[in-house]
Amino acid sequence: MKWMEHIELINAIISGILIGFGWLLDSKGNESVAIPLFLLAFVIGGYAKAKEGIEETIAEKNLNVELLMIFAAVGSAIIGYWTEGAILIFIFALSGALETYTMNKSHREISALMSLQPEEALLIKNGTEKRVHVTFLTVGDTILVKPGERIPTDGIILTGKTNIDQSAITGESMPVEREKNDEVFAGTVNGNGSIIVSVTKKSTETMFHKILDLVQSAQSEKSPSQQFIEKFEGTYVKAVLALVAVMMVLPHFMLGWSWNETIYRALVLMVVASPCALVASIMPATLAAISNGARNGLLFKGGIHLEQLSKTNVVVFDKTGTLTRGEPAVTDIIISNSIDTATFYEAVLSIENQSNHPLAKAIVAKIQEEFPKKLANMTSVDEKSGFGVRAMLDHCEWKIGKADFVGRQEALNFENGVSEKLAGEGKTIVYVVREDQIVGLLALKDVVRKEAKAAIKTLKENGIKTVMLTGDSKSTAEAIAKELQVDLFLGECLPEDKVNEIKGLKEKYGTVTMIGDGINDAPALATSDVGIAMGEGTDVALETADIILMKNELSKLTKAVKLSKKMNRIVKQNIIFSMSVIALLICSNFFQVLDLPLGVIGHEGSTILVILNGLRLLRGIE
What amino acid is encoded at 12 in this protein? A
Partners of residue 392 on adjacent β-strands: 397
- Tell me the CB-side half-sphere exposure of residue 89, using CA atoms within 13 A: 36
| CA–CA separation, 420 and 98 (whole Å) | 56
| CA–CA separation, 92 and 50 (whole Å) | 10
What amino acid is encoded at 225 in this protein? S
Q: Among residues 599, 619, 618, 11, which one has the least CA distance to residue 276?
A: 599
What CA–CA distances, in Å, run from 579 to 144, 281, 585?
67, 10, 10
First CA to last CA across the chain, in angstroms?
Answer: 45
| CA–CA separation, 17 and 358 (whole Å) | 56
Q: Among residues 587, 617, 610, 614, which one has the least CA distance to residue 599?
A: 587
Residue 367 main-chain phi, psi, to 5 deg:
-65, -40
DSSP string, 354-395: T---HHHHHHHHHHHHH-TT--PPP--EEEETTTEEEEEETT
| CA–CA separation, 374 and 353 (whole Å) | 12
Residue 308 main-chain phi, psi, to 5 deg:
-65, -35
612 Cβ contact list (under 8 Å, min separation 6): none
Partners of residue 428 on adjacent β-strands: 444
Q: Among residues 230, 218, 223, which one has the least CA distance to residue 304?
A: 223
| CA–CA separation, 488 and 305 (whole Å) | 24
What amino acid is encoded at 167 in this protein? S
Residue 523 Rama label (left phi>0; alpha psi -120 to 50; beta): alpha
Q: Among residues 239, 314, 327, 318, which one has the least CA distance to residue 275?
A: 239
What amino acid is encoded at 448 in this protein? V
Burial per residue of 174-196, b for 16 or more beta-carbon CB atoms within 10 angstroms, e otherwise: bbbbbeeebebbbbbbbbbbebb
542 Cβ contact list (under 8 Å, min separation 6): 109, 533, 535, 548
| CA–CA separation, 38 and 175 (whole Å) | 63
Indicate which residues carry an active-site annotation: 318
CA angle 333, 339, 341 (to 5 degrees): 50
555 Cβ contact list (under 8 Å, min separation 6): 451, 454, 455
Tell me the three state secondary structure of residue 244.
Answer: helix
Strands 530-534, 512-516: pairing is parallel
Residue 61 Rama label (left phi>0; alpha psi -120 to 50; beta): left
